[in-house]
Structure 1
């Protein structure tokens, strides 16, 4: 009986311990953890928005990088520790875009873009420049991506995890489309009588170096900002404008009179119907127009010398000191006190650059004119190479009013004239008396 009681006592104790252990688990649960036994990053790339770009442009290409990596199997146990990183997270990503076989240049350097968790998307921007002669078509751009991910984690005891990371290098690809377009290249730009303050012509030779055959094309010349060169008639219809073809055009332009000699910009572009039947405008090409100096005239003769109280002919030699010949030139003089004239215009005729012509003006000098040098204003009216009526800037004409000397000074001295008259009268009276005395 004692032996049997002892055995029952031991069984009872075991049962009590089991119950207590179960009760302990219920009352004091251990913190559960997870172990991931599958999953890794799965990356892909696409261009955000339209993926069509024109040749000869510098553009920003926005690229979406998507991580589609999933976790398929997870073990969850009370005694497991959960890793801080997920195995499908791409960590410390570095991306670099390459041109591959596409006709473009990548201007952006490699970029560090950080971490990308599974199911998320990251936007990366790349700056590229498409080639001017880029053929139309769809091109595949490669993008190198390097990242680190959690390969697995080992647990030691109840509170220690050791992480094992691996680095992967992958190449993602996405399409980019080059759209067809006319691209203008200026083969030559030759001015014809383009001078400051006048009108002239610009002779342009343009080539379509793009990848589009345009139809119903109109080539437009337009001003650039405050350029003094302005088109007078800026549109020329050329019709068909196929790839690799040249066109020869002539535009009339005007140049501001306040400009200086130099080369000034204008834009040239083409409006045309593309292969989709839509009218579009090409990117403008900048043309430099050489502008010669203003047409000018100078007086190269010495000052005319005149006397007070006389009527004289002023002979003035004008020289074309500008950069272009003129036609039907005529000089005009503007008198001022003490000068007057009834003949203020003198015809010069055609004048080449550097040629001189003599103008003659009849002027009257007041008797009370002060003896000194005067400067009379003059101008030359002429016709330019396009037969436009033009007027030069004012040109000073020096004139010296000088005093008479010697006998001439006495002859034009009023007091001397009066005295001389008195003497002549007295002599005449004396001679008459002497004749009467001889007769008597």
Structure 2
């Protein structure tokens, strides 16, 4: 029985009542039980056990003296069955050492078992038999609760009423009854104070130490290419720490989630004793047992694949002898860390019986996969043209057969999207060719790099985001104005200026001729033109004789090679051309002159003829 006492100050209808005390009786307070889950049989050396600890308190009975007690306790009954400030520690015995440190729980609710994994070491020389480990628990339970509570009684006007109406068979109201509901005090607590009582328990846990004829002990671990997302090789050096020879020993590797093991035997054994095979298959593939001719010593093909996965055939392993077992481990997890592995052996003892060794645990450190860091990007991509993107990146660890690819969305498109790196580590460069559409704005556009590589013989990949700078489209300007008289042909010369940010090479200017113009020479060679430079270009234009004298504009385009040595045609710019009236002799005057010339010539001719006759 447990008694919780209260000191309560209650305010009823604003009248203070002091010094009144209350008591609460309840059953049961927290107490613990514990047991070893699974097998409690261990061998010499290190072993893992799982201890299940439970707070078995059940609130079997509560006696309330008044409403104040009920109002507080009824909504907080779990506090009475919860153990607080719980410390758990394990003690071994002669020959058995518990290596797991103590555990602490701020609160341990009732009927919620907790599993505690513990590691023990059974020393050499200990005799087989039963031994006792001790679990010591110290905790606190609530002893007293002190309350300062206030409450008020509602006035009659605030009392809730219920109206009952009764009707006869004809539907006429015959009776009305008003019932006032019972109004409970409205209560709150100004402060609550708890007093705890310390308690201790000691629970004994039985373990059985077995005499082991064969015990596998891990004396060395070598991991190669053990990298997240890759494929590595794991070589474990084992020792027979038992007293008898393990005949026809198979060693199996048990991996944690995210790992898959394969034997490195290129050709698994084709002949083994039937007893060993039977014991092995009972662990590996129970369904395959029905397909095996046990008296036959040959291993069927369907079992060869089973033996090749996470199983290594050692043969005979005498006491205190060592052997290396090697497995290929496929790693699908991406998280680095220290992962638990286990080895187990299946062998034939001296009496021809198939036996299994206990699991032997060991840990392997898994490294992070290669980190890809983009150090710099250099873009020669301009709107409306193709360009190169040079990426300098750093790979945190050596990788084999690496290649880098790039993917982008409009307005970018990849022309050359892959670059082979080979076997690399540290800084390296990759070069891609991309094209930006004509309407692309000068900006930095997102793209994604994907590094594909091999660790061991497994291909893996990493992705990283980058920005690709697209520069403003090349622009040219035209300065000056051509003048062509109507009906005549003239040489028109203007200046073309590079308004862009890079030098163009092998540039040629070309005009598009429309009415009232015609031409026999519509191109002009420019050559190289640096940013801000200008040069003269000339074209031969003829204006129709009926052309209206005014200012015209012809389109001028420049074809050039950009910094990536790609041919590009610029956006057209306007070249102004003015048609003016012809400045030659008027047509009427020309006629008079022609007639006069003919008359003079005729006169001279006749004059010469007359002289010759004379």
Same fold (TM over 0.5): yes
User: How do residues 79-158 of structure 1 correspond to structure 2 at under 5 angstroms?
Assistant: 84=74, 85-86=77-78, 87-89=80-82, 118-119=110-111, 151-152=142-143
Task: Tell me what 1:380 maps to.
Answer: 558
Question: Any idea what the Cα deviations from partners look like across 1:110-141, whole Å, max 9, x if unmatched?
Answer: xxxxx9953459xxxxxxxxxxxxxxxxxxxx
Normalised to the residue count of structure 2, the TM-score between the two structures is 0.42
Comparing 368-377 with 324-333, greater Cα deviation is found at 324-333
3-state SS of paired residue (2:563): coil
Task: Tell me what 2:372 maps to.
Answer: 184
Q: Which runs of 5+ in 1 are unaligned?
A: 1-32, 43-66, 92-114, 122-148, 155-161, 169-175
Task: Tell me what 1:389 maps to.
Answer: 567
Task: Provide the C-alpha distance between the structure 2 equivalents of 1:77 and 1:298, rounded to a whole number of angstroms.
Answer: 97
| From 443, 450, 453, the counterpart of 1:272 | 453
Cα pair distance change 1:429/1:288, threshold 3 Å: same
Question: Any idea what the Cα deviations from partners look like across 1:3-32, whole Å, max 9, x if unmatched?
Answer: xxxxxxxxxxxxxxxxxxxxxxxxxxxxxx
| Distance apart, 1:318 and its partner CA | 1.7
Alignment partner of 1:238 is 2:229? no
User: How do residues 413-424 of structure 1 correspond to structure 2 at under 5 angstroms?
Assistant: 413-421=586-594
Q: Is the 8 A contact 1:319 1:357 kept in 2?
A: yes
Task: Tell me what 2:475 maps to.
Answer: 296
| Distance apart, 1:281 and its partner CA | 2.3
Cα pair distance change 1:437/1:333, threshold 3 Å: same
Task: Provide the C-alpha distance between the structure 2 equivalents of 1:255 and 1:359, rounded to a whole number of angstroms.
Answer: 30
| Distance apart, 1:312 and its partner CA | 1.3
Question: Any idea what the Cα deviations from partners look like across 1:164-203, whole Å, max 9, x if unmatched?
Answer: 57699xxxxxxx9656122221222223x33222222222
- Corresponding pairs, count: 307
Task: Provide the C-alpha distance between the structure 1 equivalents of 2:195 and 2:336, rounded to a whole number of angstroms.
Answer: 38
Q: Which runs of 5+ in 2 are unaligned?
A: 1-24, 35-51, 85-106, 114-139, 146-191, 199-334, 338-366
* Higher RCO (Cα < 8 Å, 6 or more apart): 1
Task: Provide the C-alpha distance between the structure 2 equivalents of 1:395 and 1:77, rounded to a whole number of angstroms.
Answer: 97
Task: Tell me what 2:250 maps to.
Answer: none
Task: Provide the C-alpha distance between the structure 1 equivalents of 2:58 and 2:551, rounded to a whole number of angstroms.
Answer: 111
User: How do residues 31-110 of structure 1 correspond to structure 2 at under 5 angstroms?
Assistant: 35-39=27-31, 69-71=54-56, 84=74, 85-86=77-78, 87-89=80-82
3-state SS of paired residue (2:30): coil
Question: Any idea what the Cα deviations from partners look like across 1:408-437, whole Å, max 9, x if unmatched?
Answer: 3xx0x3334345545666777899999999
3-state SS of paired residue (2:378): strand
| From 314, 329, 351, the counterpart of 2:529 | 351
User: How do residues 322-337 of structure 1 correspond to structure 2 at under 5 angstroms?
Assistant: 322-337=500-515
Q: Is the 8 A contact 1:37 1:75 kept in 2?
A: no
RMSD value over aligned CA atoms? 4.5
Q: Is the 8 A contact 1:198 1:254 kept in 2?
A: yes
Task: Tell me what 2:384 maps to.
Answer: 197
Normalised to the residue count of structure 1, the TM-score between the two structures is 0.57
Task: Provide the C-alpha distance between the structure 2 equivalents of 1:153 and 1:404, rounded to a whole number of angstroms.
Answer: 121
| From 336, 341, 348, the counterpart of 2:519 | 341
Question: Any idea what the Cα deviations from partners look like across 1:58-93, whole Å, max 9, x if unmatched?
Answer: xxxxxxxxx9642258776999999641444489xx
Q: Is the 8 A contact 1:234 1:251 kept in 2?
A: yes
Task: Tell me what 1:14 maps to.
Answer: none
3-state SS of paired residue (2:55): coil
